[in-house]
């Protein structure tokens, strides 16, 4: 579900796509906030058969062997997920938001601007 975060002078509101308030935190109740980066490594899928055939077409039997072997060596792709954790005086109000880094950075800047 797509949500929107709106920061005003007195509160941080989480809205659904229809602008209904899902969660609301008073700015004065926010103690701290931080952006957290979570990194996962996902193994890339490789086709040994395709690599063998392609290697064979390019460089003959030697290419086929190299293609097959290269398909056996695992490769990993890095996947980053970002969260904005908002810590409040009341633990029940604590909030985790997930979005791209730029969006979370802008939200954090807005919260900081309204906290001061």
State the average pLDDT over residues 101-114.
89
Judge whether residue 1 has pLDDT over 70.
no
Compute the half-sphere exposure of residue 91: CA atoms within 13 Å on the CB side of its CA: 0
Contact 27, 73 (CB under 8 A): no
State the average pLDDT over residues 73-101.
88
The pLDDT of residue 81 is 93
Kind plus residue range of the DSSP H or E element containing 1: none
**Any bridge partners for residue 87, and if so which?**
32
Would you state the structure tokens that stand for residue 100, as one six-digit string? 């791209």
pLDDT class of 85 with cuts at 50, 70, 90: very high
- 6-49 pLDDT, tens per residue? 888 888 888 888 888 888 899 999 999 999 999 998 887 777 77
Judge whether residue 77 has pLDDT over 70.
yes
State the average pLDDT over residues 102-106.
90
Contact 43, 71 (CB under 8 A): no
Contact 48, 77 (CB under 8 A): no
User: In this predicted model, which residue has the larger pLDDT, 78 or 50?
Assistant: 78
What are the contacts of 93-96 at 24+ separation with CB within 8 A? Answer: 93/25, 93/29, 95/12, 95/14, 95/23, 95/25
Look at 30-39, 67-76, 86-95 and tell me which has the smallest mean pLDDT. 67-76
The pLDDT of residue 35 is 94
| Average pLDDT for the chain | 85
């Amino acid at each position: 579900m797509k949500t929107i975060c709106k920061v005003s002078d007195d509160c941080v509101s989480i809205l659904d796509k229809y602008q209904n308030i899902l969660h609301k935190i008073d700015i004065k109740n926010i103690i701290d906030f931080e952006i957290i980066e979570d990194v996962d490594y996902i193994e890339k899928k490789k086709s040994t058969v395709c690599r063998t055939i392609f290697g064979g077409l390019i460089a003959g039997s030697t290419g086929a062997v190299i293609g097959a072997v290269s398909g056996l060596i695992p490769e990993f792709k890095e996947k980053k997920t970002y969260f904005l954790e908002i810590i409040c005086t009341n633990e029940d109000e604590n909030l985790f938001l997930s979005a791209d880094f730029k969006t979370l950075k802008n939200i954090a800047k807005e919260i900081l601007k309204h906290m001061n």
